[in-house]
Amino acid sequence: MFGGGGVLALLALLVPAPSPPNLAAGQALFALTAATGLGVAALSIRRPGALRSERFDTLFMVLGNLCALTSALGEALHFGTTYSEHVALWPMVFAAGFLGRRLLWVQAVLTPPLLALTVYARSLIVGTGERWWIEALVLAVPVVVTGLIIGFFRAAAEDEAEELTQQVGTDPLTGLANRRALHAEFGRLAARVPPGHRVAVIMLDLDHFKQVNDRYGHRVGDEVLRCFAAVLRDHAQPHDLLVRVGGEEFVWVTAEAALDPVMARVEAARAAHAAHPDARAVTVSAGLVCHEASEPLSAGHLDDLLGRADAALYAAKAAGRNCLHLYGGPRPVLEPA
């Protein structure tokens, strides 16, 4: 939009004007429009991130309205015509399609007085009559309504996209994150770990789960999985990451200043699930690994941590299941008899 407006302003400077009301003033306004429009277009090419940053939204809204105003008045002064007043639709569409929702309403409120100013100034320049306010109103209503309609459909599309994103990254049976979302969510969790805290990755597996499906059917098996997911939520902290990676296998990512509280929460979750009536007496084996607090953590560490947690889980299974094993620890932590 800015680039197109800038090019049109440059072309207007090249078109001869037979009897301009004020040629110099019109050329100056067209030059200002061209410089602003092409300047913003050049910025978007050299630094595309600037257009995606909300810090510049208000500036772009102001510049868009400035271009609409200067182009309309420039035409009236340069040619004595009034076609450019319809360019007022561009800032409205720009706000509806690209800026934040708050600025869309600001633009909707700002458009009528700006159009009134433009039409009134043009009436003074070319003498189009005293009832300029009627023309301003006729121009403003469709411009504002068009922008609000675009904003409505944009908001609906964004809400639908957000819902689809959540569905893609969510396990439909348990409501936990799925394997697809694990890496992205782990990166966000790693970025907000408080200093001095250690990130722990726990791999959990429901013992002999296949026997539940074989004996009671998959519907009951699904109830057991949902039960365990609910138990994990009850024992997780608000910023923990809970993932069903497949079948009866789950991953729990958390952060603590010490290891003992993590192990205590895992043990409490295992005991709570085993005692739950919907668990069908299914026990849980777990493998736990901690990232050293002295080493910077990033999303790239996840695969290594998962591998170690998986190795600890297999050690717990080898020890007889129904226990927690710490990676590198001397022996599993067994469920009390």
Buried-state track 182-205, b at ≥16 Cβ within 10 A, e below 16: beebbeebbeebeeeebbbbbbbb
**Averaged in consecutive runs of 10 residues, what is the pLDDT profile of the chain (337 residues)?**
89 87 92 93 80 79 92 90 84 89 92 92 79 87 94 88 72 90 85 84 95 90 95 93 93 92 95 92 94 72 91 94 84 43
Active-site residue among 75, 85, 135, 248? Answer: 248
Tokens of 239: 């910023």
| CA–CA dist 97, 89 (Å, integer) | 12
CATH 3.30.70.270 fits 177-334, yes or no: yes
Cβ-contact 40, 33 below 8 angstroms: no
Which residue ranges make up each domain of the chain?
Answer: 2-168, 177-334
pLDDT at 294: 63
- Known active-site residue 54: no
Tokens of 195: 């200093």
pLDDT at 329: 61
pLDDT at 293: 61
pLDDT at 333: 47
pLDDT at 51: 65
Cβ-contact 85, 139 below 8 angstroms: yes
In angstroms, what CA-CA distances link 209 with 29, 63, 128? Answer: 76, 63, 83
| CA–CA dist 98, 14 (Å, integer) | 32
